[in-house]
Amino acid sequence: MPSWLWTAALMLFAFGACEKEEANIVDLNQNQIRYVVADNFNLSLYDGAIRLAGLDNKLVEPGPFTLLAPTDAAFNELGISTPEGLAGYDRKRLGQIAAYHVLDGRYDLDHTPFVFNQEARSITGGKLFVSRWIKGGDTLLTVNGALVNPLKLEASNGLVQVVDRLLEPYLHEQITDAIAAEADLTIFYEAMKRTGVLADFGRDGNYTVYAPDNSAMRAAGYGGVTAIAEADPAQLRNFVNYHIAGIRRFAHDYFLTASADQTEVRQLMRNGSETIITLFPDWENPNLFMGLSIRGTNNAWDANFLRRDILTGNGVLHVIDQVLTD
């Protein structure tokens, strides 16, 4: 064969090899977390949040990262159903929320111990709490009380796990500050101050507070600062402590601990007495629940959760519509 033919053949081979190598590089890049999210139609709103928050470049870095990606349905619960809805959301807050879902490092959540609320950290330093439990033969995972889909989406720079709720970074390190910031919890907050319980929260520990709103406090005879000041200190302290558990508990934690046919669980409170948590299972989805309520041992009916799973650095706050009595 003439030498010029050999040269041409070698050039064609080299060109083809380069094309193949470049194609492989493109394929690898397309498998980074940023593009795994973009390719999943159920994550389109979080994809939009990534772009608006400027996280594009972060999620193509080598990492590794673990991304807890909220579904479009999770955004829908906040009234956001279109990219236009995202654009109208507070840009700074949206950036904080988007980044809070990114963990620095690879976390195979299905390999964590069978323990409630194990602490993890986002790339912004915010705490998240992972629970792994067995229920009805199934292993369930939650993060901040949100259910984690068992299917993992592998990426070249980490992995993506899908959650059924938007995870909002907490605004307060202390749960007492979260209570103080709620305009509808001023009477209960005053009772915490009056009894000295407020000072107890300065110590290390995790707490769950089931705080009655102002309407509930008034209905129980605590109309305001004057009524709180006139109440018997010992009785008031017992009353306040009956609304506090010395453990971190998200709503979904109660469902995880309940057996398949169990609709009530008990929670030990800070005054030594128990409350009763009533669960409302979703019978069409055995691993889900529709809601819950709480009552004291001396309540005639259950208190409803007006707001639940308000995360803080040292606990969880739930707002209820009735005081608890023992």
For each of the domains in the chain, give its residue range(s) and CATH number, in order of start.
31-163 (2.30.180.10), 175-320 (2.30.180.10)
Q: Which residues contact 226 (CB under 8 A, 6 or more apart)?
A: none
Cα(30)–Cα(25) distance, rounded to whole angstroms?
9
Token pair for 94: 């949206």
Residue 273 has pLDDT above 70, yes or no: yes
Token pair for 6: 């050999």
Cα(110)–Cα(97) distance, rounded to whole angstroms?
24
Averaged pLDDT score across all residues of the chain = 84
Cα(70)–Cα(50) distance, rounded to whole angstroms?
12
pLDDT tens digits, one per residue of 212-240: 999 999 999 999 889 999 999 999 999 99
What is the CB neighbour count within 10 angstroms for residue 115? Answer: 10
Residue 6 has pLDDT above 60, yes or no: no
Residue 194's pLDDT is 92
Q: What is the mean pLDDT of residues 281-292?
A: 76
pLDDT tens digits, one per residue of 190-203: 999 999 888 887 66
pLDDT tens digits, one per residue of 43-52: 989 988 888 8
Could you tell me how far CA 219 lies from the centroid of its own chain?
Answer: 32
pTM value > 0.95: no
| Residue whose C-alpha is closest to residue 42's, from 149, 114, 168 | 149
Could you tell me how far CA 239 lies from the centroid of its own chain?
Answer: 29
